[in-house]
């Protein structure tokens, strides 16, 4: 280990985050490696190590001979200060080598509030922030993850974005890079060729012009690059790479357990949900294969918990059978099963018994809206009676706490809908009174509301986020309505972060200057209250002559050219508009298994039929 | 429950794993290695492991002791190799054996404290350190969880059983035997006392290495 590093590690909090050397971390012989990849996650080690996508790419890349992928996370403020003071450049955890000397630097972008960390990490690496100022072929700076479906605020900083699932395309662009390096292409030549790979969006090859009112006038492809870039998907989940053997951190991380990915996509089609549209079509991993992978992952990791992960795990066909298969292995070994995402209408006695066999966790449901009318309008397709039945089941089984998540400010929401949240919470309370076997222990019902952020590539991409005063009024309305219910706790999100999210999630390239200004004035870790400074963001917008409300609170015209017009998730704009109109008619759309609604994502699959 | 012990070392990158994290790492490593060990009883059973005398984060050691209960079916001699294949870099098991003496008989620890001077050891530093350790009494204030004020006074000298100091070109090496428990002495307090008494000789960096576990007779404790 580097001597300077050795001297600073005793001074910082949780130094094990900065050392590498964990079980299963891949260390290769540098003499037998010709391409170095820095897989960067723009948040702390604890959060980045919990990301399954990064684990997949890490495992997949390191299976390749001659290619070495290392991990990089954002150092916390104390470590950053020491690094800057001692002149230590951002390094890969496996080798300790500065990533500025690597071939490719790849960022995983899952949350807009991590953008300033991308800039900060480039700076800590000793690299110019803007792609145009990095003239050499290496290091190439790329980014993937769900934020890339509208990556415009980061466009000037990143050489290209990778849309969709990375299992195949990652190796394709690495091959292209190696060819470019061996044949000594210029960076411009490489980028032009990269743009020919399906799923790769090279922002510098598109010219954006604006109207007087600030909306986008046109996005013009240059050099014959495609007008739309469609995401990549892995067709066969059962055959696709899964990291059963993966790094086991030596310090505690957020999701410190085996993550078993059941399927990708979601059959539900909630109109506010970007993931629900962006990960289409639904592709399941075979149950037998999942059983094998789960056992292998437990044996290799030593973890005592498996989480069955997906966007909506209770929609996995044969979930109970899968649980039984795993429990035969898990129970004698004290390994528990957990489900992170449960629909309130699919929680059954059958399932409950299987989840609590080893250990009993908390129970969380997300009805999202308080009335049936609004739940229909957002296509949540959850009936009140089904939710109440689920909580009765849970309370009868001995659970004495339920968390309920809602959003305020959904399109078409009225005060009646807001007050409906209080009514629903009360009904859940009465369900407890009716069913709890032991009332002496009391009950904890937690209601949490967030401020709805309209996202690109959803039915609500045209919508305005409600103004902050209105959000606050609705919070107060609900708070007053719940005042007297002692068993119900009400939490609400602070509006400032949600406002910034609303700006950046549907932002355009001009916001790059805002990001850079905010970073220059100290912004980083904006998803952490320790660092987030709302006034700094207001100052950044003002300094760049931009109006946050224009991005957050404006209703878009039907045919407006969106900044995110080039990236495509494979779901047609016409379909999304139709869904929006159905919302205003409070009409639901059936789930993908019941009936195909023709969103367009079926074209990703051979034969054009989603199997769900 | 704790019928067996592992003797292991902790060095390199593993020095920065905290005590709690290290226990978790061992619980998982036993499972990975397929070595069945005793579990705690009760509502939430978990693999029982206990590490004697927690080592501060950043220190290296070649004499750590972990207590656990090996279940039937695995021979003690095969434990080190199987565990080493399942542990992260820097933690190496040297021996697995039946515990014969209670941990309370482990009364002293031998540490090597290395004071690092990048531009060479200043004149007088070695003498100063020797003078400090030769005193009749050396009372320092240290943080305390029990005391109301949050601080307590402790005399270091009675807790230092023996010492030698050797001056080299860039380092000053103190080889000390310190009380291990009830109460024990963290060698960091020696560093702090030296830097406070002789700020002009404050080194650029100090590293700590735990070399041996000893009993009351000064013999190796296992």
Residue A608: its pLDDT value, please? 85
Residue B104: its pLDDT value, please? 94
Residue A140: its pLDDT value, please? 98
pLDDT, mean of residues A295-324: 93
Q: Give residue A358's pLDDT band: very low, low, confident or very high (50, 70, 90).
A: very low
Burial (CB count <10 Å: 0-12, 13-18, 19+), residue A288: exposed
pLDDT tens, A28-38? 999 999 999 99
Domains of chain A plus CATH, in order, are 3-230 (3.40.50.280), 258-493+570-584 (3.80.30.20)
Q: Give residue B18's pLDDT band: very low, low, confident or very high (50, 70, 90).
A: very high
The answer to whether residue A436 scores a pLDDT higher than 90 is no
The answer to whether residue A383 scores a pLDDT higher than 80 is yes
For residue B16, what are the CA distances in angstroms to A71, A272, B28, B59? 18, 44, 18, 8
Mutating which of B12, B13, B89 best tests the A interface, going by the most A Cβ atoms within 10 A?
A: B13
DSSP state of B30: H
| Secondary structure element (H or E) that encloses residue B153, with its range | strand B151-155
B4-100 shares its CATH topology with B105-214? yes
pLDDT tens, A491-501? 999 899 999 99
CB contact under 8 A, B86 and A359: no
HSE-CB of B47 using CA atoms within 13 angstroms: 26
Nearest to B29 among A1, A19, A302 (CB): A302
Q: Which two tokens stand for residue B56?
A: 């501060």
pLDDT, mean of residues B196-218: 96
Mutating which of A6, A17, A19 best tests the B interface, going by the most B Cβ atoms within 10 A?
A: A19
**Which chain A residue is nearest to residue B47, measuring alpha carbons?**
A334
CB contact under 8 A, B58 and A9: yes
pLDDT, mean of residues B8-36: 96
Q: Do A296 and A244 touch, CB atoms closer than 8 A? A: yes
Mutating which of B11, B34, B56, B88 best tests the A interface, going by the most A Cβ atoms within 10 A?
A: B88
Nearest to A1 among B13, B30, B57 (CB): B13
Q: Give dist(CA B25, CA B65) in Å, integer.
A: 15
CB contact under 8 A, A22 and B88: yes
CB contact under 8 A, B28 and A10: no
Q: Do A76 and A12 touch, CB atoms closer than 8 A? A: yes
Residue B34: its pLDDT value, please? 94
- Mean per-residue pLDDT of chain B: 94
CB within 8 A of B94, min separation 6: which ones?
B7, B8, B9, B80
Contacts with A7 from chain B: Cβ below 8 Å: 204-205
DSSP state of B220: B
Q: Give residue A356's pLDDT band: very low, low, confident or very high (50, 70, 90).
A: low
pLDDT tens, B137-195? 999 988 887 778 888 899 999 999 999 999 999 999 999 999 999 999 999 999 999 99
- Mean per-residue pLDDT of chain A: 94
Dihedral sign from CA coordinates of A237, A238, A240, A245: positive
Instruction: Choose the weakest-confidence range: A47-61, A105-119, A597-611.
Output: A597-611
pLDDT > 90 in chain A, percent: 87
Contacts with B60 from chain A: Cβ below 8 Å: none
Closest among B119, B82, B115 to B192, alpha carbons compared: B115
CATH of domain B105-214: 3.30.70
The answer to whether residue A570 scores a pLDDT higher than 60 is yes
* Domain locations along chain B: 4-100, 105-214
pLDDT tens, A192-209? 999 999 999 999 999 999
DSSP state of A91: B
**Which chain B residue is nearest to residue A304, measuring alpha carbons?**
B28
Q: Which two tokens stand for residue A223?
A: 């050099």
Q: Which two tokens stand for residue A233?
A: 């998907």
Residue A611: its pLDDT value, please? 65
* CA-angle at A128, arms to A122 and A134, nearest 5°: 115
Residue A76: its pLDDT value, please? 98
Query: Which of the listed CATH numbers 3.30.1950.10, 3.40.190.10, 3.30.70.580, 3.40.50.2000 matches domain B4-100?
Result: 3.30.70.580
Q: Give dist(CA B211, CA B111) in Å, integer.
A: 5
Q: Give dist(CA A123, CA B23) in Å, integer.
A: 37
The answer to whether residue A79 scores a pLDDT higher than 90 is yes
Nearest to B58 among A10, A20, A23 (CB): A10
Closest among B16, B217, B212 to B111, alpha carbons compared: B212
pLDDT tens, A477-514? 999 999 988 899 999 998 999 999 999 999 999 999 99
Residue A359: its pLDDT value, please? 46
Backbone dihedral angles phi then psi of residue A389, each to the nearest 5 degrees: -65, -40
Residue A361: its pLDDT value, please? 56
Q: Give dist(CA A369, CA A417) in Å, integer.
A: 7
User: Cis (ω within 30 of 0) for the bond into A225?
Assistant: no
> Is residue B211 within 8 angstroms of chain A, CB to CB?
no
**Which chain B residue is nearest to residue A358, measuring alpha carbons?**
B44
Backbone dihedral angles phi then psi of residue A376, each to the nearest 5 degrees: -65, -40
Closest among A348, A259, A380 to A310, alpha carbons compared: A259
Closest among A112, A43, A50, A110 to A76, alpha carbons compared: A43
End-to-end CA distance of chain B: 17
The answer to whether residue A515 scores a pLDDT higher than 80 is yes
ipTM of the complex: 0.92
């Amino acid at each position: 280990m580097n001597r300077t590093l050795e001297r600073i590690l005793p001074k910082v909090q949780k130094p094990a985050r900065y050392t590498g050397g964990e079980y299963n971390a891949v260390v290769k012989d540098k003499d037998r490696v010709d391409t170095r990849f820095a897989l960067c996650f723009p948040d702390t080690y604890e959060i980045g190590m919990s990301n399954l996508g990064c684990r997949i790419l890490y495992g997949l890349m390191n299976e390749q001979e001659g290619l070495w992928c290392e991990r990089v996370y954002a150092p916390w403020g104390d470590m950053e200060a020491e690094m800057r003071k001692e002149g230590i450049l951002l390094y890969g955890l496996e080798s300790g080598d500065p990533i500025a000397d690597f071939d490719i630097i790849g960022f995983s972008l899952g949350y807009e509030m991590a953008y300033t960390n991308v800039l900060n990490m480039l700076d800590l690496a000793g690299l110019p922030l803007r792609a145009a100022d990095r003239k050499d072929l290496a290091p190439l700076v790329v980014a993937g993850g769900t934020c890339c479906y509208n990556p415009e605020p980061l466009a000037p900083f990143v050489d290209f974005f990778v849309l969709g699932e990375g299992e195949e395309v990652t190796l394709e662009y690495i091959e292209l890079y190696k060819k470019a390096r061996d044949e000594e292409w210029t960076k411009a030549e490489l980028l032009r060729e990269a743009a020919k790979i399906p799923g790769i969006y090279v922002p510098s090859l598109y010219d954006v012009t604006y109207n007087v009112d600030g909306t986008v006038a046109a996005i013009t492809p240059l050099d014959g690059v495609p007008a739309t870039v469609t995401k990549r998907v892995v067709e066969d989940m059962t055959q696709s790479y899964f990291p059963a053997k993966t790094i086991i951190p030596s310090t505690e991380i957020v999701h410190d357990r085996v993550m078993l990915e059941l399927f990708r996509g979601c059959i539900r089609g909630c109109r506010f949900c970007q993931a629900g549209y962006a990960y289409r079509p639904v592709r399941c991993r075979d149950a037998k294969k999942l059983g094998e992978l789960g056992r292998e992952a437990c044996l290799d990791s030593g973890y005592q918990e498996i989480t069955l992960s997906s966007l909506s795990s209770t929609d996995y066909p044969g979930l109970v059978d899968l649980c039984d298969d795993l429990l035969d292995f898990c129970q004698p070994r004290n390994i528990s099963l957990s489900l992170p995402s449960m629909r309130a209408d699919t929680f059954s006695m059958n399932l409950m018994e299987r989840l609590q066999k080893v250990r009993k966790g908390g129970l969380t449901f997300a009805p999202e809206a308080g009335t049936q009318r609004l739940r229909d309008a957002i296509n949540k397709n959850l009936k009140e009676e089904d939710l109440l039945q689920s909580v009765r089941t849970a309370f009868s089984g001995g659970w004495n706490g339920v968390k309920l998540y809602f959003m305020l400010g959904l399109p078409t929401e009225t005060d009646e809908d807001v007050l409906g949240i209080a009514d629903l919470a009360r009904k859940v309370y009465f369900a407890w009174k009716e069913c709890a076997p032991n009332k002496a222990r009391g009950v904890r019902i937690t209601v949490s509301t967030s401020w709805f952020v309209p996202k690109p590539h959803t039915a609500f991409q045209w919508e305005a986020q409600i103004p902050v005063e209105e959000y606050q009024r609705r919070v107060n309305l609900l708070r007053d309505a719940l005042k007297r219910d002692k068993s119900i706790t009400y939490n609400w999100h602070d509006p400032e972060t949600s406002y910034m999210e609303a700006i950046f999630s549907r932002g355009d390239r001009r916001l790059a200057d805002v990001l850079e200004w905010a970073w220059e004035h100290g912004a980083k870790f904006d998803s952490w209250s320790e660092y987030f400074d709302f006034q700094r963001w207001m100052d950044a917008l003002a300094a760049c002559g931009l109006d946050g409300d224009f991005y957050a609170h404006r209703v878009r015209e039907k045919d407006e050219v969106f900044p995110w017009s080039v990236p495509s998730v494979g779901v047609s704009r016409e379909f999304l508009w139709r869904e929006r109109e159905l919302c205003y008619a409070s009409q639901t759309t059936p789930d993908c298994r019941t009936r195909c609604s023709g969103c367009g994502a079926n074209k990703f699959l051979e034969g054009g039929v989603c199997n769900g | 429950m704790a019928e067996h012990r592992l003797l292991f070392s902790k060095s390199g990158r593993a020095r920065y794993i905290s005590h709690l994290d290290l226990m978790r790492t061992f619980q998982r490593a036993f499972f990975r290695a397929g070595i069945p060990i005793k579990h705690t009883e009760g509502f939430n059973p978990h693999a029982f492991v206990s590490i004697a005398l927690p080592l501060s984060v950043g220190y290296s050691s070649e004499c750590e002791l972990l207590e656990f209960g090996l279940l039937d079916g695995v021979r003690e001699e095969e434990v080190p190799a199987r565990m080493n294949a399942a542990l992260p870099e820097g933690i190496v098991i040297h021996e697995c054996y039946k515990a014969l003496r209670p941990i309370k008989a482990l009364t002293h620890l031998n540490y090597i404290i290395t004071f690092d001077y990048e531009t060479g050891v200043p004149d007088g530093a070695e003498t100063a350190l020797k003078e400090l350790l030769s005193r009749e009494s050396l009372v320092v204030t240290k943080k305390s969880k029990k005391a109301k004020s949050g601080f307590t006074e402790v005399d270091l000298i009675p807790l230092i059983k023996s010492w030698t100091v050797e001056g080299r070109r860039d380092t000053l090496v103190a080889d000390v035997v310190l009380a291990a428990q009830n109460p024990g002495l963290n060698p960091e307090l020696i560093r702090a006392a030296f830097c406070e008494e002789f700020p002009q000789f404050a080194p650029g960096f100090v590293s700590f290495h735990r070399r041996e576990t000893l009993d009351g007779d000064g013999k190796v404790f296992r």
